[in-house]
Chain A
């Protein structure tokens, strides 16, 4: 059973460009979570999605960031007009259900560098 897949692993963008980060959850998992890790910090929750629904985006910056999890295909975290402060590692996690134990399985992360 393949784990959570994220691509690309490394992404370099110039200021003002768009960044698209992809996450394929584990097989059978329909809940996806995105976290951001700034340098020398722990992971911080950004958004929680189920298929075709955003459940909680309270950790997402209000502007330039968006996320989706379509019926078919991976979850996408999109950052428009990137700035240097967006440089971070972005982790995706998935879980098979959203109640009780809630253990999430993390992907390897995408390291975004904005030049």
Chain B
């Protein structure tokens, strides 16, 4: 079965610094997608960044970028120039191409300190 593991329950970072959140996954599929979602206290699930497994280039969205290591099944999220508004739970998720069940990790609670 597919699994997604986030081994860091909590992290903190100083404002303006850079932080990296870890995620590993396990799948036997060759085509899949990986996502990072942000869940602020409002509980809204906000898509931060998306990566297609067939693309070798790491996805980037402004201050957010990923380090996708397909062979190692690793998908970490780097947040540069951290802002107070980045304080939230961050969930890593996978989705096998042709299916519809997102598999979520247990989340990392990130706190950005002023």
The interface of chain B, by Cβ under 8 A from chain A, is 4, 33, 37, 42-45, 47, 50, 91, 93, 95, 97-102, 104-107
Chain B residues touching A, majority SS:
loop
Do A99 and B102 touch across chains, with their CB atoms under 8 A apart?
no
Do A108 and B98 touch across chains, with their CB atoms under 8 A apart?
no
CA distance A47 to B85 in the complex (A): 32
A–B Cβ pairs within 8 angstroms, 12 of them: A40-B107, A42-B91, A45-B101, A95-B100, A99-B98, A102-B98, A104-B100, A106-B37, A106-B45, A108-B43, A108-B44, A109-B44
Residue A12 at the chain B interface, CB threshold 8 Å: no
Set of chain B residues within 8 Å of A95, measured between Cβ atoms: 100
Shortest Cβ distance from residue A87 to the other chain B in the assembled complex, whole angstroms? 14
Residue A69 at the chain B interface, CB threshold 8 Å: no
Do B95 and A102 touch across chains, with their CB atoms under 8 A apart?
yes
